[in-house]
Homo-oligomer: A and B are copies of this chain.
Amino acid sequence: MSFALSRNVAAFLLIGTLVAPGSVLPARAETSLQAPVVAEKADKDDVSSFHLENGLEVVVIPDHRAPVVTHMLWYHVGSADEEPGKSGIAHFFEHLMFKATKTYPAGEFSRKVAEIGGQENAFTSYDYTAFYQQVAPQALEMVMTYEADRMENLILNEDVVKTERDVVLEERRSRTDSDPAALLAEEVNATLYQNHPYRMPVIGWLHEMQQLNLKDALAFYQKYYTPNNATLVVSGDVDLATVKALTEKTYGKVPRRAEPGNRQRPQEPEQNTKRTVSMADPRVSQPSFQKMWLVPSYTSAKPGEAEALDLLSEILGGSSRSRIYQALVVQDGSAANAGAYYQGGSLDAGSFGIYGSPRGSATLTDVEAGIDAQIARIIKDGVTADELEKARNRFLKSMIFARDSQSSMARIYGSTLSTGQTIKDIQEWPDRIRAVKVQDIQDVAKRYLVDSRSVTSYLMPEDGKPDQKIEGETPASGETQQPEPPAQGVIQ
């Protein structure tokens, strides 16, 4: 427990903002990740990549401003790759990777990193599982030695499985089962995705987590924790030649154990209904709603569509300058908070969402209708060239901020390469954002934001209804919040 928690706290500080399909994250942080960017063409040559003979892909992103390196190993396996009935195994396995190996006792790797003032953590999402450390450059070989070792030499037995299963079960209890918003989010995903495994929670369904066993763990390790199923990203104060030499010396010794094959998951059927998912719980004080649509991701979209969806979310509800925020929070004051987001950083289908909370005498229904009206306006009249230009600039600027951190850069490259895109896709992304036209915004809004194919969720106080005024608990007039959808993060 304490081990898991301390890892989680560190991860939240360092990672905190990863994108997962179906999860809800602050719109700003989210776009900085799903939509990877290199700000200037001049930087393109800085990123190199190569493959070791065992199939491990290595990406090097030099940044010599500070004597720090970020080392992130991304396995191309996440909860959406789990077998039916085995939900939670990907995240469970992330935990098991911190156990003893044939070479080193449990905890030694973490202790070594801590001793030199480094940071480390790991996280699991729908499409990937990643392990990272941030250390001084001279410690890179040490980190690679331990990380390569646990790719091959992990000791799995009944004892470690039982112990760590209790840890993840407790994690589920404290993060999900005790939180109405988290429980609602699970059922929203299970409703939004009718066939795709994104429907299942990353942490797993409780009754399936309880059954995870040694046999499952061994099979998972064997199939997925093989060098040809991973991408190593090293960013920071390091050069290509050093990384080449060090990876050959460490990871290069790990044999290719399996061929995981194509990542073919069951895809969504055509959706033809409007759905709602409601929860009323005494622990809820501030009512809120969300409406979600299945839309293409950067990987699955036709050229230009994902970029247009990103800018549509920016114009509609990505910041306090957005249409939704200006109309509902600033002008008519019906919402304490409202916005829109696009989650396009997944291997399969992505999602587009709007959200809001009422203020004063307004109800959830009022806020929903107010946002719907903003969508209807864009579908009918489109956006202006000036509005698009400003949104594009805000958007690109936020990407430049993301680029300023070596760990953000490592996350951008790692998550993007783990979800079916290429380094070229990442590098050309700003140009593709620049190419989006006014008409493209209206087109994707019209094509995808169709009310009769949406899933709306309502989170309410006990006995609440969407059209019911909530007394006394909403922020007083004047108290508004920055647009920020309820958090439901990647799992560490």
Contact = CB atoms under 8 A, between A and B. Distances in A.
Interface of A: 84-85, 87, 183-184, 186-187, 190-191, 194-195, 197, 199-200, 205-208, 264-267, 269-280, 452
B273 A184 contact: yes
Given A191-B275, A195-B190, A270 B200 contact: no
Given A197-B84, A200-B195, A277 B269 contact: no
B280 A183 contact: no
A186 B184 CA distance: 22
A199 B268 CA distance: 13
B452 A275 contact: no
Contacts of A275: 187, 191, 275-278
A483 to B, nearest CB: 25
Contacts of A187: 194, 271-273, 275
Q: Is the interface of A mostly helix, strand, loop or mixed?
A: mixed
5 contacts: A195-B205, A273-B278, A274-B279, A279-B452, A280-B452
A277 B273 contact: yes
A467 to B, nearest CB: 11
A181 to B, nearest CB: 11
A458 to B, nearest CB: 9
A293 to B, nearest CB: 15
Nearest to A187: B273
A276 B276 CA distance: 5
B197 A190 contact: no
A270 B206 contact: yes
Given A190-B194, A197-B84, A272 B279 contact: yes
Nearest to A276: B276
Residue among A84, A87, A190 having the largest count of chain B Cβ atoms under 10 Å: A190
Contacts of A452: 278-280
Contact of A84 (B84, B190, B205, B207): B84
Contacts of A280: 452
Given A84-B84, A84-B197, A191-B191, A274 B266 contact: no
Contact of A264 (B85, B87, B266, B271): B85
Given A85-B266, A273-B277, A194 B183 contact: no
A334 to B, nearest CB: 22
Contact of A274 (B186, B272, B278): B278
Given A183-B272, A190-B195, A207-B269, 5 more contacts: A84-B84, A195-B205, A274-B278, A276-B276, A278-B452
Q: Give the top 10 A-B pairs by smallest Cβ distance, nearest first.
A: A190-B194, A205-B269, A85-B266, A187-B273, A276-B276, A274-B278, A84-B266, A273-B277, A273-B279, A183-B272
Contacts of A267: 85, 207-208
Contacts of A199: 194
